[in-house]
Amino acid sequence: MKEKSLILKYWPQYKWSNVFAMIKNSFKEPEKCYEDFNGLVVITGATSGIGYYTARKYASHGAKVLAINRDVEKSKKLCEELRNTFGSDFDYIIADLSKLDDMHRVGKALSDLSENIDVLIHNAGVYLQRKIITVDGIEMTFAVNYLASFVITYLLRKKLVAQKSGRIIFVNSEAYRFAAWGLRLDDINWEKRKYSGLKAYGHSKLAQLLSMIIFCDYLKNTGITINAMHPGMVRTGTGKENGFTYRWFKKNIIDRMSKSPEISAEALYYLGVSDKVKDISCKFFNLTTLEEPAPPAKDREEAQKLWDLSLKLGRIDET
């Protein structure tokens, strides 16, 4: 759908109260869960930032951690750290989640696990200032931030349903609001528009929220919950792939205004373990505070179109 049509569609649905709630929620601290947890948690992107602190948080409470990372040496280091510090059971799969072959390989490996996946946290992500097209011909931000979580979750759906319990958490972002007028499904690769890193990031996060609508239909009454959360304004390694100017701005301006990723880890542990949210599904949390998404994130018609496109982009055979 063209941008002008999308503006006309969403503008009447916007409410100032929604924006004010988002601002208010951004100042709240996350709820904490003090219960131990001896299940299996799968975390993508666990060697730095939010993923790293989340792996430590779960390990400190007795969880077995399975990480999906790009870097072998960093994964080995994390493995040694968690075992020595917490005595935790840790394993990892090396994968580049910008590549479809690796997305499928991870999905199959997780599907073949004999044990239940109690918590699946889609955390891996990138923020780029210049457009990069992956080896599969897909814009990089969209591929890593959205398509990887879609493909892996889709390939895991039957295993998760068979478990009859489990929680899926998308590490999303309030930045989805930068896609204020919805997705341009006719221009996923930004060929018809000038590329904007911030808008591309927002589009990828909006796509994740829209996919959750259809996943919710499939997972209804199965014992599997699926939710998305904004991790707060925290210091992470996201954007390190960008040039000197951005890296300087991030280090000296953004990071100084940001909090430790430990608050994100607290929220992800709470959402993954606490009994208070065990029956809550298909929701968006600002850390641990429930929040109503903006209109484009609730568009079921666009969600279905995105779903159909994602199956094609992800080379998924529904049969």
Residue 186 within a domain: yes
- In 95-223, the DSSP E strands lie at 119-122, 166-171
Backbone angles phi and psi of 43, in degrees to 5: -130, 125
Average pLDDT, the chain: 91
Residue 293 within a domain: yes
Residue 108 within a domain: yes
Whether 115 shows a pLDDT value over 70: the answer reads yes
Q: What angle do CA 52, 231, 170 make, to 5 degrees?
A: 85
* Residue 99, domain extent: 3-12+27-230+260-313
Q: Which CATH number characterizes residue 294's domain?
A: 3.40.50.720
In DSSP notation, 242-282 reads: S-HHHHHHIIIIIHHH-B-THHHHHHHHHHHH-GGGTT--S
Average pLDDT (115-142) is 97
Residue 247 within a domain: no
Q: What is the pTM of this model?
A: 0.91
Whether 235 shows a pLDDT value over 60: the answer reads no
Residue 5's pLDDT is: 78
**Residue 234 pLDDT grade (very low, low, confident, very high; cuts 50, 70, 90):** low
Total number of domains in the chain? 1
Residue 7's pLDDT is: 82
Q: Which two tokens stand for residue 173?
A: 């972002």
Residue 132's pLDDT is: 97
Whether 244 shows a pLDDT value over 90: the answer reads no
pLDDT digits (tens, 9 = 90+) for 56-70: 999 999 999 999 999
Please identify every residue annotated as catalytic.
Answer: 201
More confident residue, 265 or 241: 265
Average pLDDT (136-143) is 98
Residue 242 within a domain: no
Residue 88 within a domain: yes
Is residue 7 within 8 Å of residue 181, measured between CB atoms? yes
